[in-house]
Amino acid sequence: MAKDIEKYNDDELYYMLSSDKKSAEKAFAELYARYSSRVYAYCRRFLGNKEDAQDVFQETFVRFLDSTKQERLMTNVPAFLLKIARNLCVNLKRKQLNPVSFEDYMVVNDSNNDSNELLGLITTAMEVLPDEYKDMFILREYDGLSYKEISDLANVPLSTVKIRIFRAKQKIREILAPYLKELERF
């Protein structure tokens, strides 16, 4: 290779995955280094379960590698990886069909550490969001994607993305309101 593997852009690396074994391994290692933490963080936030997140994370990269066997135009590797992860997360949630209510998650916390308690409540609030809201919220607030990027990734109209993110924020505020009101008293 004429230049170091790190100097190739994502699209070039993607197409290298279809070349000789040595080049493909180096290209995959570089793409994995660039995006693995982002993909895992997305899976972890969406699923809320470490084991499920690890399974989906691994399956994401397996499917990503399999995609190189198909003729495709690659213009945005990180968005493609997130789309694979998103679809796998949504499918797993559908299979589980375990509706969760906020009351199921309420646990008395004997700890006086307010920040840990608040973090736990935010995590709980994320867990009880409907999947379509949670997905959009995570992509926007944690992954920093624009509304347009989310619309393209989820294959839904831009207005739907905006509504779902608004409703997700509204629901989180609603869930946290009693706790925040309690904090104001102190």
Fold for the domain defined by 100-186: Arc Repressor Mutant, subunit A (1.10.10)
Contact 7, 18 (CB under 8 A): no
pTM: 0.64
pLDDT tens-place string over residues 93-119: 888 765 544 444 444 444 445 566 667
Tell me the average pLDDT of the chain.
82
pLDDT tens-place string over residues 10-62: 989 998 998 888 989 999 999 999 999 999 999 998 888 899 999 999 999 99
Q: What pLDDT, on a 0 to 100 scale, did the predictor assign at position 107? A: 44
Q: Which residue has the tokens 């936030």?
A: 45
Q: Dig out the tokens for 62 from the structure.
A: 């397996």
pLDDT tens-place string over residues 155-171: 899 999 999 999 998 88
- How far is it, in rounded angstroms, from Cα 142 to Cα 147? 13
Q: What pLDDT, on a 0 to 100 scale, did the predictor assign at position 52? A: 92
Cβ count near 165 (within 10 Å): 19
Residue range(s) of every CATH 1.10.1740.10 domain in the chain: 1-98
- How far is it, in rounded angstroms, from Cα 39 to Cα 5? 21
Fold for the domain defined by 1-98: Rna Polymerase Sigma Factor; Chain: A (1.10.1740)
